[in-house]
Amino acid sequence: MSRLADIERLVSQGLTDARSLGRLRCHMVIEINREISKFNGAREYALRRHYYLIVTREAIGMRRHHWVDQHYRVPPQKKHLQDG
């Protein structure tokens, strides 16, 4: 979060220099993409656990899994931002 605080400080200083604003935007995109990567990693982990749940249910004889998808929804993958 300190990076975001640094970005906020730079914005509050009223930077108008095009290069500084370009660097600021680049840093913001990098930070957002880092968070998107964390989200997508957590999503993949959830999908793996969902699969294990289905396999376990199959192993104990449960065959209807539609409620699992209703109660344990996994959100779609997010796309990274493009700098440009």
Q: What percent of the chain has pLDDT over 70?
A: 83
Question: Can you give the length of the chain in residues?
Answer: 84
In Å, what is the CA distance from 75 to each residue of 17, 42, 48, 57, 78?
A: 39, 10, 13, 22, 9
Q: What is the pLDDT of residue 16?
A: 56
* pLDDT bracket for residue 15 (50, 70, 90): low
Q: What is the extent of the structural domain holding 24?
A: 2-71
Is there a domain that residue 81 lies in? Answer: no
What phi, psi does 54 have (nearest 5°)?
-65, -45
Determine if the pTM surpasses 0.85. no
pLDDT, tens digit, 9 for 90 and up, residues 2-11: 777 877 776 7
Q: How far apart are CA 62 and CA 82, in angstroms?
A: 44
pLDDT score at 43: 97
| pLDDT band, very low/low/confident/very high, at 1 (cuts 50, 70, 90) | low
Would 49 be classed as within a structural domain? yes
Q: Please indicate, yes or no, if residue 76 is contained in any of the structural domains.
A: no
Total structural domains within the chain: 1
